[in-house]
Amino acid sequence: MPRAKPVPPVRPADTDPLSERELANELAEPDDDASTDPATAETLTNGSLARIFHDIGDMLEVKGELVFKTVAYHRAADALAHSPIDIPDAYRRGSPPRIPGVGAAIGDKIAELVETGRMRFYDRLREEVPPSLVEMLQVPGLGPKTVRLVHDTLGVETLEDLRAAAESGRLRTVRGLTEKTEQSVLEGLAGLAARQDRMLLGKAQRVIDQLSAELRDVPGVRSIEPAGSFRRRRETIGDLDLLAETSDAPGLVRRFTALGSVDLVLNRGPHKAAVRLLRGPQVDLMIMSPGQAGASRIHFTGSKEHNVRLRALARDLGWSLSEYGFLRIGEDGEPLAGADAELRTFRDEAEAYAFLGLPFIEPELREDRGEIEAAMAGRLPHLIELDDLRGDCHSHSDWSDGVHSIEQMAEEARRRGHAYQVLTDHSQSLAIARGLTPERVAEQRRIVAELNARYEREEADGTAPAATPAEGFRLLHGCELEIRADGRLDFPDELLATYDVVVASLHVGRRQPRAELTARVLTAIRSPHVDVIAHPAGRMIQTREDLDLDWEVVFGEAARTGTALEMNGSDHRLDLSDTRARAAVEAGCVLTIDSDAHRIEEYEFLRWGVSQARRAWVEPKAVMNTRSRADLLAWTAGKPDRVRA
């Protein structure tokens, strides 16, 4: 394959960055007959503007532009897509609106596009950067520099070219690339389709929040709510389902399909519609009749298997269950017609379940994993809720790989109403995370003591935040203790004994045989000073496989020693998985539900941890951090006495 024309690089990072105007001016003018696609001045919409600015951000990333510029274009695209104002129309009328994330330089580009139907900067970028190169950025671990390198050296322009180069061993001939790079690329390509089709919970929540905000004020709308796998809190989400109660179904459908973030309208009817969002998932909107939404919520929440069981129960009682309600059926199993026809509808799900003789079944349980039988027998679990958590046993600061300071992390936890937050910065051998040496541990402990003395004074004089619980707030000193590749723990027992809480985890040597990996985890579980095993499977959803552990042995030893297993709430971990967590509790293990927050915003991960626990049928009594601070500290201090023979 001949070498491809190199992608022109931008200025090196060690020179003064170009402004948008300078970068545009540096590019030669395109031919007069060139025109910006996919929109003309007459057909421009918020959505087409957003698509163009997303394209610009992608192409600048391939060219190696500074990150802040690529991010600026993507943020501007998002702002345009979700703006309630018709942006092109406002520019045509000579009154450009103020749009968050859109500055003067980007505003000039919008004006040029609206006035002329073309944007010279965009046209030049499209000449220089083949669209297929942008697609390569979706391959995990393949950054802009490598994409440009394999393009310029090997002529690789498509994902198939990339696959062929990796399979033939040609990638490793490029300077700086190795056989390991080839293997990583092939693994990334193999999983790319699945990753493109599935979202993590956090992204799904953001899309739902944005759409709900844009539709909630449509006249006639009473409610907008998610359904489907997101409502059941599956680990990854494909299509999104939205349910709406409204008195004007056609009006809501029109507004939904005309949103600036809509890339393609897949279907549209008087009571439902489906769209694909710009750089986003398919979203199905279903309209429910006000006051009659019980059956609809059940039907569209699923799962399929759960609904099949409910329909069978309904038929046994002489009814056909659908999204519309319960329809009376005859002896032949067909719905009655004419004067005998009868349809029962219900205001909410609890009433619909009660019609089948069942108590309300929480959405997270609706997977046909025994919930129907448990409901019939009156044995449904009392599921844990976010408010049951008294604190969080796993968080980081900027002393290791966190973003915010110790004080900032503590203050945010206190503001949220926690009774305690455990600071668990990494131990010394995890250099990539700036793990703490024993000397830095001593320095950190002094800061923790000073903060706690201040909190005690503020609670005594009544100046503590209103959310502070009756028992007060304290920052507990802990660590995330590395289980080394040779099986040793990263700190000696003498140092570990000085911590309030110790969580242990395994980050290195992940490819060892099952017996060695399991033995390393058991070393931590059996330590008299290790209280929690953090993210036990070590997985990253969609990007890193689980550790190959003997889980039956791990659960048995954790139960025997009273060592807690963590349910990590980070949406790219959710570790333990729901099935493993349920098995762990059945084996007699205790759990913690933690955020693993590395910045204050990530305390929100606790809600995903709780959702995962609810899917695992976990009750509050099985979770250590539902206990008071005094009880938690008594538990950690008494580990040697918890060990069962």
CB 268 within 8 A of CB 257: yes
**Tally of CB atoms within 10 A around 189:** 20
Share of the chain above pLDDT 70, in %: 92
Please check the confidence at residue 492 and state whether its pLDDT lies above 90: yes
CATH no. of 298-376: 3.30.210.10
pLDDT bucket at 31, cuts 50 / 70 / 90: very low
pLDDT of residue 624: 97
The arithmetic mean of pLDDT across residues 310-336, rounded, is 93
Residue 542 reports pLDDT greater than 90:
no
Task: Determine which of 185-194, 271-280, 568-577 has the lowest per-residue pLDDT on average.
Answer: 185-194
Q: Is the pLDDT of residue 28 over 60?
A: no
447-484 per-position pLDDT tens digit: 999 999 999 999 999 999 999 999 999 999 999 999 99
Check pLDDT > 90 for residue 134. no
Q: Give the pLDDT confidence score for residue 140 in this predicted structure.
A: 72
Q: Where in the chain is the domain with CATH 1.10.150.110?
A: 20-196
For residues 394 and 194, which has the higher predicted lDDT (pLDDT)? 394
Predicted pLDDT at 585: 98
Task: Assign 159 a pLDDT band (cuts: 50, 70, 90).
Answer: confident
**Segment holding 276, helix H or strand E:** strand 272-277
Length of the chain: 645
Residue 548 has what pLDDT?
Answer: 95
Mean pLDDT, range 23-32, rounded to an integer: 35
Cis peptide before 528 (omega within 30 of 0): no
Per-residue pLDDT, averaged over 121-125, amounts to: 89
Domain with CATH 3.30.460.10 in the chain: 199-288
Query: Comparing C-alpha atoms, which of 190, 156, 194, 189 is closest to residue 173?
Result: 156
pLDDT at 537: 97
Smallest CA-to-CA distance from 440 within 468, 406, 471, 483 is with 406
Q: Is 313:356 a contact under the CB 8 Å cutoff?
A: yes
Q: How far apart are CA 334 and CA 350, in angstroms?
A: 26
| pLDDT tops 90 at residue 486 | yes
Please check whether the domain covering 386-639 is classified as CATH 3.20.20.140: yes
Q: What is the CA radius of gyration of the chain?
A: 28
Contact between 231 and 297 (Cβ < 8 Å): no
List, in sequence order, every residue forming a beta bridge with 400; answer none if it has no partner.
none
- Beta strands per DSSP E along 521-563: 532-533
Q: At what angle do helices 104-116 and 67-82 cross, to 10 degrees?
A: 60
- The pLDDT score that the predictor gives to residue 58 is 85
pLDDT tens for each residue of 573-624 = 999 999 999 999 999 999 999 999 999 999 999 999 999 999 999 999 999 9
d(CA 281, CA 506): 34
Q: Residue 25: what pLDDT?
A: 35
User: Where residue 6 falls among pLDDT bands split at 50, 70, 90?
Assistant: low
| Mean predicted confidence (pLDDT) in 512-529 | 96
Dihedral angle, C-alpha 620, 622, 625, 631, nearest 10 °: 110
User: Over 60: is that where the pLDDT of 20 sits?
Assistant: no
pLDDT at 13 over 50: no
CATH topology for 199-288? Beta Polymerase; domain 2 (3.30.460)
* pLDDT category of residue 1 using cuts at 50, 70 and 90: very low
Q: Read off the pTM.
A: 0.79
Percentage of residues in the chain with pLDDT exceeding 90?
64
Residue 196 pLDDT: 57
Q: Which residue has the higher pLDDT, 270 or 36?
A: 270
Give the tens place of pLDDT for each residue, 241-271.
Answer: 999 999 999 999 999 999 999 989 999 999 9
Q: Quick one: DSSP state of residue 344?
A: E
CA distance 64 to 115: 30
The answer to whether residue 441 scores a pLDDT higher than 80 is yes
User: Following DSSP, what letter does each residue of 362-427 receive, concatenated?
Assistant: -GGGTTTSSHHHHHHTT-------GGG--EES-B--TTTT-SS-HHHHHHHHHHTT-SEEEEEEEB
Reported as a pLDDT band with limits 50, 70 and 90, residue 38 is very low
pLDDT of residue 187: 79
Q: What is the mean pLDDT of the chain?
A: 89
Whether 26 shows a pLDDT value over 50: the answer reads: no
Mean pLDDT of the 219-232 span: 96
Question: Which CATH superfamily does the domain covering 20-196 fall into?
Answer: DNA polymerase beta, N-terminal domain-like (1.10.150.110)
The average pLDDT across 73-99 equals 87
123 contact partners, CB below 8 Å, separation of at least 6: 30, 34, 35, 36
pLDDT of residue 644: 67
- Of 5-9, 99-103, 220-224, 507-511, least confident by mean pLDDT is 5-9
Residue 32 scores a pLDDT above 80: no
SS (H, E, C) 105-163: HHHHHHHHHHHHCCCHHHHHHHHHCCHHHHHHCCCCCCCHHHHHHHHHHHCCCCHHHHH
What is the average pLDDT across 164-169? 90
The pLDDT, as a whole number, for residue 10 is: 45
> Distance between CA 446 and CA 449 in Å, rounded?
5
Task: Identify residue 506 by its one-letter amino acid code.
Answer: L
